[in-house]
């Protein structure tokens, strides 16, 4: 594991992990981390960490977890995340037009203000050249807390895998999509809720 820039971890060795760490974004000034944790090797695990995505409008991370094409078999498990007032682009994202495969994202509780109403807490849209295979996004609580938000998971065509048993939150009235461009993933039992309202099954669009 390397740390080439302040407050940035890199999992660059196969089968390495970062666990039980509170990862803070910059606390003062105008400082942006491109990513708090970057994964550039196979078989890595990010488990039971707490991510602070922003402390102010100018002290924040662009994304908390960045997965390169080499991050095959990555497991992202049982993390929590929050923001104060700043707006990251996502909590987890892919980088480059080739996406990693067999990525598992399970049992995370993430409540983020995001930079766009259509931004994804999980965003794997960069993999437009070679989409990921056998992704699993399951049993997560994901909230896009930006006013009038409509999206919590943002995908790309041709991705395969499962997106199941997730509880999603957006703030736009009557927005039931929450998952956009899912590709070829299998989806069931994903629920969308809004503040003060009972959850409903998501629909698919975008």
- pLDDT tens figures, 94-153: 999 999 999 999 999 999 999 999 999 999 999 999 999 999 999 999 999 999 999 999
Comparing C-alpha atoms, which of 175, 142, 163 is closest to residue 53? 142
pTM for the whole structure: 0.92
Comparing C-alpha atoms, which of 18, 85, 79 is closest to residue 50? 79
Decide if 54 contacts 85 (C-beta within 8 A): yes
**Checking DSSP bridges between strand 135-138 and strand 104-106, what pairing results, if any?**
parallel
pLDDT score at 109: 98
Q: What is the mean pLDDT of residues 25-46?
A: 93
Tell me how far apart the alpha carbons of residues 108 and 163 are, in angstroms, rounded to a whole number. Answer: 13
pLDDT interval class at 55 (50, 70, 90): very high
Whether 159 shows a pLDDT value over 70: the answer reads: yes
């Amino acid at each position: 594991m390397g740390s080439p820039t302040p407050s940035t971890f890199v999992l660059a060795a196969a089968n390495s992990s970062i666990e039980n760490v509170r990862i803070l974004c910059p606390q003062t000034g105008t400082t942006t981390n491109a990513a708090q944790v970057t994964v550039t090797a196979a078989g890595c695990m990010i488990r039971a960490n707490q991510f602070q995505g922003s402390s102010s409008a100018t002290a924040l991370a662009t994304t908390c977890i960045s997965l390169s094409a080499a991050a095959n078999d990555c497991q992202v498990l049982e993390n929590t995340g929050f923001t104060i007032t700043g707006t990251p682009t996502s909590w987890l994202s892919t980088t480059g037009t080739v996406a990693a495969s067999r990525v598992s994202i399970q049992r995370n509780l993430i409540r983020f203000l995001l930079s766009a109403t259509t931004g994804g807490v999980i965003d794997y849209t960069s993999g437009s050249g070679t989409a990921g295979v056998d992704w699993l996004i399951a049993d997560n609580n994901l909230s896009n807390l930006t006013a009038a938000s409509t999206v919590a998971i943002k995908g790309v065509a041709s991705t395969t895998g499962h997106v199941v048993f997730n509880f999603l939150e957006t703030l736009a009235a009557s927005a039931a999509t929450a998952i956009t461009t899912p590709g070829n993933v299998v989806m069931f039992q994903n629920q969308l809720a809004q503040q003060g309202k009972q959850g409903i099954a998501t629909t698919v669009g975008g």
